Amino acid sequence: MRMKLAAGTAVVALILAACGGGAAQKGTVKIAINPWVGYEADAAVVAYLLEKELGYKVEKLPLTEQISWEGFESGTVDVIIENWGHADLAQKYITDEKVAVDAGSTGVDGIIGWYVPPWMVTEYPDITDWNNLNKYADLFKTSESGDLGQLLDGDPSFVTNDEAIIKGLDLNYKVVYAGSEAALIESFRAAETNKTPLIGYFYEPQWFLAEVPLVHILLPEWTEGCDADPNNIPCDYAPYNDLNKIVSKKFADTGGDAYKLVTNFQWTGADQNLVAKYITIDFAGDADAAAKAAEKWIKDPANESKWKAWLP
């Protein structure tokens, strides 16, 4: 929700601008930050342009997906910059309550599924066929999964179908949570380096796949309605074509140039992966990693025509 400047504050801001103090502050844009680095890359670039090019203040709010949508109703969130499906939340907040609107495509297609490290496919070529997963379940047993094979998931707040898929396909596996995206990545990295068995939830686009090209397990292809029962799903995840942006209805109506920038923002999975890599690798451990990553991408002459096309 944009904050209105008091008249006196606006005058002071204009004077500062005239004296070389920078662009007049236009208000605050509140962007939810969901817990995966691809999302953070999107948000970092949009936030940088809002602040440096358009003169807005940006408030970044670390929130899970569900809580982010609730923020449209409470007025605490203006923008979700990368939405992965959530038909139920769209029905509630866009269609029924009319407090949110679709702000268009990010230009990125998403894939969610089960993956194994490359060494396992070399050693067990038929492991990518789900029909063979029970044959290999013993390989994946851990102290946390007991007598069942472990299927490793990431952040517990991520919306997954994995327990329902295990039930729907009658697989001898148990979902165990790594705790975060970073922990999931580190588990896959260690599994490839040490040649230890691992199967887990993962997704694309993701910069890590350029480092370790994880191999997608072929579950039964998703078809309309195969995931209708949320407790028993005998198919793969639906493809997330054209990941979109969601904004509050109030922001859409009053956000001005900030809203126009958000709706115009559209890039590729390769762009996102590059900024995500900057955040995770190039500026690892830096408190301002996201902002520095965005600046590095924006200052690259090869990207100038892309981001300038998003400006109002």
On whether both 192 and 138 belong to a single domain, the answer is yes
Look at residue 231 and tell me if it is in a domain: no
> Residues 77, 117: one domain?
no
- CATH classification of the domain holding 182: 3.40.190.100
* 202 and 119 within one domain: yes
pLDDT at residue 242, rounded to an integer: 87
Q: Are residues 103 and 120 in the same domain?
A: no
For residue 20, the model assigns a pLDDT of 36
- Considering its fold, how many domains does the chain have in total? 2
Read off the pLDDT of residues 284-303 as tens digits, 9 standing for 90 and up: 999 999 999 999 999 999 99
Same domain, 85 and 115: no
Which domain does 198 fall in, by range? 111-216
Residue where a domain terminates, one of 197, 216, 235: 216
Q: Is 303 found in the same domain as 259?
A: yes
Question: What does the pLDDT look like over 231-251, one tens digit per residue?
Answer: 999 999 999 988 999 999 999
CATH for 32:
3.40.190.10
**Confidence at residue 26, expressed as pLDDT on a 0 to 100 scale:** 85
Residue of 62, 66, 96 whose CA lies nearest to 83: 66
Q: Where are the alpha helices (DSSP H) in the chain?
A: 7-18, 37-52, 65-74, 87-90, 118-123, 162-168, 181-194, 249-254, 256-264, 269-277, 289-299, 304-308
Residue 221 inside a domain? The answer is: no
Residue 60's contacts (CB-CB under 8 Å, 6 or more residues apart) are: 31, 33, 43, 47
Q: In what order do the strands lie in the sheet with 200-204?
A: 173-177, 149-153, 200-204, 111-116, 215-216
Please, what are the averages of pLDDT over each run of 10 residues along the chain (312 residues)? 34 36 70 97 98 98 96 97 94 98 96 97 97 98 98 92 98 98 97 98 95 97 95 96 95 98 97 96 95 98 98 96
In a domain, 192, yes or no: yes
Query: What's the rounded Cα separation, in Å, for the pair 312 and 308?
Result: 9
SS3 (DSSP) at 20: coil
Partnered with residue 204 across adjacent β-strands are 111
Are 28 and 58 a contacting pair, CB within 8 Å?
yes
Q: What is the pLDDT of residue 14?
A: 35
**CA separation for the pair 277, 266 (Å, rounded):** 19
CA angle 18, 23, 27 (to 5 degrees): 130
* Same domain as 136, residue 86: no
Residue 204 lies in a domain: yes
Q: Does one domain contain both 62 and 155?
A: no
pLDDT in tens, 72-116: 999 999 999 999 989 899 999 999 999 999 999 999 999 999 999
Report yes or no on 229 lying in a domain: no
Within a domain: residue 65? yes
Q: What is the pLDDT, as a whole number, of residue 25?
A: 61
**Is residue 33 a part of any domain in this protein?**
yes
Distances (CA, A) of 65 to 33, 83, 95, 106: 9, 8, 18, 17
Instruction: Report the residue count for the chain.
Output: 312
**């969901």: which residue's tokens?**
34
Residue 301's contacts (CB-CB under 8 Å, 6 or more residues apart) are none
265 and 291 fall within a common domain: yes
Same domain? 97 vs 17: yes
Name, in order, each residue with C-beta under 8 angstroms of 205's C-beta and a sequence gap of 6 or more: 38, 108, 109, 110, 269, 270, 272, 273
Cβ-based neighbours of 147, under 8 Å, separated by 6 or more: 141
Q: Residue 6: what pLDDT?
A: 35
Greatest C-alpha distance within the chain: 73
Give the residue among 161, 154, 159 at the shortest CA–CA distance from 176: 154
My answer on whether 173 and 25 are in the same domain is no
In a domain, residue 294? The reply is yes
Paired tokens of 157: 């707040």
Question: Among candidates 123, 122, 178, 132, which has minimal Cα distance to 154?
Answer: 178
State whether 277 and 263 are in the same domain: yes
Query: Could you tell me the pTM of the whole model?
Result: 0.85
